[in-house]
Amino acid sequence: MGKIGILLINLGTPGAPDTASVRRYLKEFLSDPRVVELPQWLWQPILRGPILMTRPRKSAHAYRQVWMEHGSPLAVYTRAISSALQQGLPELVVDWAMRYGNPSIASRLEAMVAAGCDRILLAPLYPQYCGATTATALDAAYEALRKMRAQPAIRTLTPYYADPAYIEALRASTLTQLAALDFAPDLLIASFHGMPERTRLLGDPYRDQCVETARLLGEALGCEVRVTFQSRFGRAKWLGPATDDSLRKLPGQGVGKVAVLTPGFAADCLETVEEIAIRAKADFIAAGGHKFVHLSCLNASRDAMNLYENLARRELAGWLER
């Protein structure tokens, strides 16, 4: 019998915070028809024209503000999650890959098979299922498997948006961080990445799963957890309410102290550190807010590792006992 592997998959990030690297990354990411659901004949001229002419420079500037000693936060924390999970599950082969950019899903799947894995759990690190994240990550894995003569057996991680171990990790992480800051916010906001409203109408369960995560977390904490959606892109109508608009209105409604958590992101990244912890904070304070705190994502915390070991052991049941 061969080995059992877990491949953690995250979104992807540029290799460096410069305009050329960000352009390469955005071109691959935004050319994915699961992400922008327009006919390519219509979309590609828009992407290659106005978008790739202007956005890479602006985004590279944002990336430079959050870049870490060992790379982009998304890559640094995803790698840390993989190393910590490998330590907790030494009998397995744990690896990580990115849907866009490097390390690619195909290259890591090939490496795992070469290392003797004949059973692999594909684990997109998205608690809430979305066609633009979970499905495209799995599509890429299946595409790589399609080219293999001897394929490993495959399982995929069930979306864990309502899993008691996930809710508990969020509850514990929220309470620990608020206690460390000695902060009692007037309101807790759960900001999730947005999606075009149309995808919901077409049957994507993403929005409902975000709402359910926040409801369960509110129940566990015994307080309101208000849902908002961030990172709007393009002109179509996106899921609402928007995080930035909501935050700007709060001081006028008597809410001066907020804590924002970003439970849809397994790892801190541009969207949490720059968009929320820097930009949303500045907007909130400019609108008259007194105190704003962004609570870190679960990253490779003890709470996170409890969660992932729990999910892995459950998804691998039957394989592990053999």
Contacting residues toward ligand L6N33NVT, per CB under 6 A: 11, 13, 26, 35-36, 55, 59, 72, 74, 126, 130, 132-133, 193, 195, 206, 231, 233-234, 264-265, 269-271
Please identify, using beta-carbon distances, which residue of 35 and 123 lies nearer to Fe ion: 35
95 burial via Cβ count (<10 Å: 0-12, 13-18, 19+): buried
207-245 per-residue burial string, b: 16 or more CB within 10 A, e: under 16? bebbebbbebbbebbeeebbbbbbbbeeeeebbeebbbe
Residue 21 in contact with Fe ion, rule: CB under 5 A: no
Residue 243 binds: one of Fe ion, ligand L6N33NVT, none (C-beta under 5 to 8 A by kind):
none
Closer residue to ligand L6N33NVT in complex, CB, 145/278 = 278
Residue 186: count other Cβ atoms within 10 Å of its Cβ.
15
C-beta of 47 vs 117, nearer to ligand L6N33NVT: 47
Q: Cβ closer to ligand L6N33NVT: 13 or 173?
A: 13
**72-76 contact pairs (CB < 8 A, 24+):** 72/13, 72/14, 72/17, 72/269, 72/270, 73/267, 73/268, 73/269, 73/270, 73/273, 74/10, 74/11, 74/12, 74/13, 74/267, 74/268, 74/269, 74/270, 75/13
Whether residue 294 is annotated as binding a ligand: the answer is no
Is 271 assigned a ligand-binding role in the annotation? yes
Neighbouring residues of 210: CB distance < 8 A, sequence distance ≥ 6: 128, 161, 190, 192, 227, 229, 264
Q: Of ligand L6N33NVT, Fe ion, none, which one does residue 6 interact with (CB within 5 to 8 Å by kind)?
A: none
Judged by CB under 5 A, the residue of 13, 21, 134, 231 near Fe ion is 231
Which residue number, 74 or 217, has a Cβ lying nearer to ligand L6N33NVT? 74
Is residue 275 within the footprint of Fe ion (CB under 5 A)?
A: yes
CB 303, min distance to ligand L6N33NVT, A: 19
Q: How far is the CB of 36 from Fe ion (least distance, A)?
A: 11
CA 150 to mean position of chain CA atoms: 31
Residue 244 interacts with Fe ion (CB under 5 A): yes or no: no
Q: What are phi and psi of 90, to 5 degrees?
A: -65, -20
Binds 164: which of ligand L6N33NVT, Fe ion, none (CB < 5-8 Å by kind): none
Nearest approach, Cβ of residue 7 and Fe ion (Å): 21
Binding residue numbers for Fe(2+): 193, 271
